[in-house]
Structure 1
Amino acid sequence: MKLYIVIEEDRHGFFVAEVPSLPGCFSLGRTPEEALTGMHQVVEEWLQIMANYEPEHEQRIYSC
C-alpha cells in the first residue's frame, strides 16, 4: 500500500508527518526523518484499529 505523507515544520521547530487519507494519523519528530520513522508505526497501528472498528448503528426516528 502506498500512502501520501505530508511533513511540515510547526511553529515550535518540530516536524509533523501526516497521512491526509487516514484521519488522525500523524507523528512528531525533531527531524523530518524522525517524524517519518514514527509514521511507519502509527500507520500500522491505525490500520489494525480500523480493521477491527465497527461503527455504531445510528438510530433514526421518522415522523409519519
Structure 2
Amino acid sequence: MRYTVLMEQNEDGGYTVTVPSLPGCMGEGSTREEALANIEEAISGYIEVARNLGRPIPVEVSVSPNTINAV
C-alpha cells in the first residue's frame, strides 16, 4: 500500500513525518532520509497492529495541497 506523508522541518533541524490516512502514525529523524525510513517502519507497524486486532486497514485519503508546508 502507498500512503501520502507530510514532512515538516523542526526548529532543531530534524524532521517530523505524519500520515494523514493513519491517525497517530508519525516518525522523526535528523535527516529527511532517516525520517522517511522511520515512517516506513511506523506504517508497517500500524498496519500489522490493525490486522492483529482485526481492524480494517485504512485507505489513502486525499490531502489538499494547501495543507502541505514546503520543505
Same-fold call, TM cutoff 0.5: yes
Gaps of 5+ in 2: 56-71
Give the TM-score normalised by structure 2: 0.68
Report the Cα distance in structure 2 between the residues aligned to 1:25 and 1:32, rounded to whole angstroms. 17
Gaps of 5+ in 1: 56-64
* Structure with greater contact order relative to length (CA < 8 Å, sep ≥ 6): 2
| SS across alignment from 1:45 | helix
% identical aligned pairs: 31
Backbone CA RMSD of aligned residues: 1.6
Aligned length: 55
Whose radius of gyration is greater, 1 or 2?
Answer: 1
Give the TM-score normalised by structure 1: 0.74
Q: Extract structure 1 runs of 4+ deviating beyond 4 A.
A: none
